[in-house]
DNA sequence: CGGGTACTATATCAACCGGTACAAAAACAC
DNA sequence: GTGTTTTTGTACCGGTTGATATAGTACCCG
């Protein structure tokens, strides 16, 4: 019963993703969004709730479609492999010519205009914390398997990897090329302890 | 001749710095600024021009007062010393309890709301590029002095150091502590080539 | 063919944005 | 004192923000 929607909900969400990705949460106005999505304001509110909820749906889609390499990287046989896949995969997403440069999450979490945007910012920070925690656990496993010296703190290494990634995101948003970011990732990997464990 | 100003221009600029630092250029409204500076809108425009010019003056002051460690780091005897001072000094600024967390430049350059803010964003990117160039030249000098292997590209290393710094800035804005960032810096330094040059 | 239901479009809301016109008030030169 | 210059406070400008009320339109069921 009822009238059919005249637009594709997923397609419109994809268009919204492009806008949020380029402009950030605060920088994307409803006018930007509705024009890119090809729908009117009331349609947006009826379908997605409000700007904040639309962003959350967009963010979910972003993680599923563009950050899926993270889960895959966690299954690499070695810690070095995991970190390498993480940084290289991230570099590729950040400089994908099919999408705006940089990271949707980073672009929307740095400037803190205050008000409602602060909620979004905190949520993005929490999601990043979760990713760092996941990486930490992976490195703890690597340590328990003798891959890391016992005096290395996995939390420190997870934080370091995240920092390099966030820095690459900022540089990508500023125009860094894919090749440049790959070189950053390559150098970042050199910080890892020498191949030899205490002995395995 | 004429009437005296009832406020201290430098003091008000310092107050504006706090606001821009916390909120970013776009996130800081004229209401936020005038309230923090203790002056009215017309006084702000008569004294500093407009919001954009006020930001530039604020940015100059920021670099002079809080980024002065950069010039000093460049004079360290070794490349390792320069990079170490750079990252540690930056970590300290990013987490100075007397000021908002993070970096004024990064906080104002990531989100791209479009319009007038884009000018500021490009200018901040250009200033960062300049810093990276300066570091690159310092590393080139180190390479010419035999401190770096010949097959290492100073541009790559400068980009890597900048990336780590930018990442630390994002993490600081998200609540990272000074100690955590110092550990990031320490690990980042391990990526440097072994102490021994080709031989000096 | 209605009736009911969902979607769409126009037009609008109050609040806020950066930026100013205007006139009152204060300090100088004379 | 008087005239001039500069600063200050109030009140306001057009434009944009996120979010809706209202009315019209298309579709399904019976």
B4 touches strand C (CB under 7 A): yes
Query: CB burial class (10 A; 0-12, 13-18, 19+) of residue B172?
Result: buried
Q: Tens digits of per-residue pLDDT, A136-186? A: 999 999 999 988 888 899 999 999 999 999 999 999 999 999 999 999 999
Instruction: Assess whether pLDDT exceeds 90 at residue A30.
Output: yes
Residue B130 confidence (pLDDT) above 80? yes
Q: What CATH number does the domain located at A9-62 have?
A: 1.10.10.60
Please report which confidence band the pLDDT of residue B196 belongs to, taking 50, 70 and 90 as the band edges.
Answer: low
pLDDT at B200: 44
Distance set, CA A21 to CA A55, A104, A172 (Å): 10, 4, 12
CATH class of B7-65: mainly alpha
Task: Report the nucleotide nearest the CA of residue B52, measured to C1'.
Answer: C18
Angle at CA of residue A113, ends B117 and A50, nearest 5°: 105
What span, in angstroms and rounded, lies between the C-alpha atoms of B162 and B128?
Answer: 9
Is there contact between A4 and strand D, defined as CB under 7 Å from any strand atom?
yes
* Averaged confidence pLDDT in chain A: 94
Backbone angles phi, psi at A111, to 5 degrees: -80, 135
Residues in chain A: 200
Given a cut of 50, is residue A199 above it in pLDDT?
A: no
Give the integer Cα–Cα distance in Å for A66 and A99: 10
**B198 confidence band (pLDDT: 50, 70, 90):** very low
pLDDT-based confidence at residue A194 (cuts at 50, 70, 90): confident
B178: pLDDT strictly greater than 70: yes
Please name the CATH architecture into which domain B67-192 falls. Orthogonal Bundle (1.10)
Would an 8 Å CB–CB cutoff place B113 in contact with chain A? Answer: yes
- CB atoms under 10 Å from CB of A55, counted, come to 25
CATH superfamily of A67-189: Tetracycline Repressor, domain 2 (1.10.357.10)
**Does B147 lie at the interface with A, CB-CB under 8 angstroms?**
no
pLDDT tens figures, B44-82: 999 999 999 999 999 999 999 999 999 999 999 999 999
Domain ranges in chain A?
9-62, 67-189
* Confidence band, pLDDT 50/70/90 cuts, at residue B195: low
Tell me how far apart the alpha carbons of residues A39 and A158 are, in angstroms, rounded to a whole number.
42
């Amino acid at each position: 019963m009822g009238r059919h929607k005249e637009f594709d909900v997923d397609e419109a969400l994809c268009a919204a993703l492009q806008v949020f990705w380029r402009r950030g949460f605060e920088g994307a106005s409803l006018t930007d969004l509705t024009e890119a999505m090809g729908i009117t304001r009331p349609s947006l509110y009826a379908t997605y709730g409000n700007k904040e909820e639309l962003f959350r749906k967009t963010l979910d889609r972003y993680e599923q479609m563009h950050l899926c390499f993270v889960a895959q990287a966690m299954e690499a046989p070695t810690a070095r492999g995991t970190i390498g896949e993480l940084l290289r995969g991230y570099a590729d997403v950040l400089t994908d010519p099919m999408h705006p440069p940089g990271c949707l999450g980073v672009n929307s979490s740095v400037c803190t205009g205050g008000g409602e945007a602060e909620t979004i910012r905190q949520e993005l920070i929490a999601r990043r914390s979760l990713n760092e925690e996941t990486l930490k656990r992976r490195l703890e496993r690597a340590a328990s398997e003798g891959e890391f010296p016992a005096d290395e703190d996995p939390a420190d290494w997870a934080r370091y990897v995240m920092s390099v990634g966030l820095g690459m995101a900022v540089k990508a948003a500023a125009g860094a090329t894919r090749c440049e970011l790959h070189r950053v990732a390559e150098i970042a990997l050199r910080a890892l302890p020498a191949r030899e464990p205490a002995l395995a």
